[in-house]
Amino acid sequence: MKGTRSALVLISHDRRFLSALSRSTVWLDRGVTRRIEQGFSGFEAWRDAFFEEEERDRHKLDRKIAAEEDWLRYGVTARRKRNVRRLGNLHDLRRQRAEARRPVGSAELTASEAEASGTLVVEMDGVSKAYGARSIVDSLSMRLLRGDRLGIVGANGAGKTTLVNLLTGGLEPDSGRVRLGTNLRMMLLDQGRAVLEPTMTVSDVLTGGRGDQVIVGGQSRHVIGYLKDFLFSPEQARTPVSVLSGGERNRLLIARALAQPANLLVLDEPTNDLDLETLDLLQEMLGEYAGTLILVSHDRDFLDRVAGSVLVSEGDGRWVEYAGGYSDMVAQRGKGVQARPQAGTAAPRRQPASRPSDPDAAEAPAQRTKLGFKEQHELKTLPERMQKLEAAIAKLRAVLDDADLYARDSARFEKASALLVEAQGDLAACEERWLTLEMLREESAAR
């Protein structure tokens, strides 16, 4: 992407990806956008300095209000006009403080740890697994000991989830042996997030629909207090899961997972949709976690900070373990994870020379030089289509903003929620298609 001549707008939770490609950064904070003419690598220091300056200004305002209140109590004189004006200023200062929007805060993440497991957690001896002609794992032997932090990486479709299921005993191997250690208490946060039923409320996800208490670390806590640790407001406790954002759903799943006592955490893409502050706290929590960790992630920076070793797919069912994080693996391996054809898939064949009997081959160029008529029409009409979808999404959001809608008319709520998800998916597809066509148009114009 560095070689493209097009403008790029990147939205990602992968900090290394953003640092490598971005030249300016837009920060959406409490409804206000702020821009820094630096790449993401300079963003966090700039953000922290902004918060420090904001906190200093808040302290100055508090001191000024305290001084004015002291005058109001002890320094009022007979000069009525001046006093009225000064009292009005005090009211203005108080209003400024009341209306100031502070940062939302950061989640408080603490894992509930179970009794320690045995020294041996997982042992694989010559394990193989295949689906038809495609080999997922071929003769893998490895040991995972108590306290180890294993990262698993590979291209999409390499079989990472299958490998996790083999490691945790959820899937039987075709050959070889998997031995699980003693006294294991496992907690799995899977990538599918299937545990969240759209009709369940936020509170019910944590309590199982039984009362208003949740057990965390062997102690009973009120669900509202526990939800506050994960940045949920008390009003959201009765909110259906279907209206939560992707980040809120992920935070809710992490809250549910961390409430369960475990000495083996299995996290499949836990960083999806997490804000940077929550991501940092998750890393700190995992760094202090005394149990064993199996982590599947595409976030290279996250792996560098958390993983003690990295297991990498080399293709054709071969998996190799490297000591250290992702960067250490790249240094030892000589390259990172790259997309590659799946095992069992034929490599692209060279096209034969065109023959007079094959008119299509005679006209097919090696590389496209311009958009076809259909694509030009699509490029022209897509903006209008996107505008209509954005208008539809705004209307649906206005309907769902009614806090009493679910209680008053659950059928309408469910229908509006389903239509909103569909419209958002259509809009994302249209935007991606438009960007693809626009880049093709620019490339053809540059030739």
- Per residue in 124-163, pLDDT (tens digit) is 999 999 988 889 999 999 999 988 999 999 888 788 888 9
Average pLDDT value over all residues in the chain: 77
Residue found under tokens 């809009």: 427
Q: So what CATH class is 120-333?
A: alpha beta
Stretch 111-130: mean pLDDT = 81
Burial of 363 (0-12, 13-18, 19+ CB in 10 A): exposed
| pTM confidence score | 0.54
pLDDT tens-digit readout, 69-84: 666 655 555 444 455 5
Burial 232-251 (b: 16+ CB within 10 A, else e): beeebbebbbbbbeeebbbb
pLDDT tens-digit readout, 179-209: 998 888 888 876 555 567 788 888 888 888 7
Residue 87 backbone dihedrals phi, psi, to 5 degrees: -65, -40
SS3 of 151, please? Answer: strand
Q: Which of 126, 143, 252 is nearest to 200 (CA)?
A: 252
Percent of the chain with pLDDT over 70: 77
> How far apart, in whole angstroms, are the C-alpha atoms of residue 178 and residue 171?
10
Beta bridge partners of 221: 214
User: What type of residue is 12?
Assistant: S
Q: Where are the domains of the chain?
A: 1-103, 120-333, 370-446
> How far apart, in whole angstroms, are the C-alpha atoms of residue 355 and residue 362?
7
pLDDT tens-digit readout, 323-349: 988 888 888 888 777 654 444 444 444
Stretch 236-247: mean pLDDT = 83
pLDDT tens-digit readout, 31-52: 788 888 888 888 878 888 887 8
Residue found under tokens 């009794």: 115
Q: Which of 240, 257, 235 is nearest to 197 (CA)?
A: 240
pLDDT tens-digit readout, 359-393: 443 333 444 456 777 888 888 888 888 888 888 88
Structure tokens at 414: 């469910």
pLDDT at site 351: 40
> How far apart, in whole angstroms, are the C-alpha atoms of residue 306 and residue 325?
7
Q: So what CATH class is 370-446?
A: mainly alpha
> How far apart, in whole angstroms, are the C-alpha atoms of residue 314 and residue 282?
29
Q: 25-29 and 32-36 as β-strands: parallel, antiparallel, unpaired?
A: antiparallel
Assess whether pLDDT exceeds 60 at residue 99. Answer: no
Burial 417-432 (b: 16+ CB within 10 A, else e): bebbeebbebbeebee
Beta bridge partners of 143: 123
Q: Which of 201, 20, 219 is nearest to 10 (CA)?
A: 20
> How far apart, in whole angstroms, are the C-alpha atoms of residue 438 and residue 375?
10
Residue 269 gets which letter from DSSP? S
Q: Which residue has the higher pLDDT, 252 or 361?
A: 252
Burial 87-104 (b: 16+ CB within 10 A, else e): eeebeebeeeeeeeeeee
SS3 of 438, please? Answer: helix
User: What type of residue is 326?
Assistant: Y
Q: Which residue has the higher pLDDT, 213 or 116?
A: 213
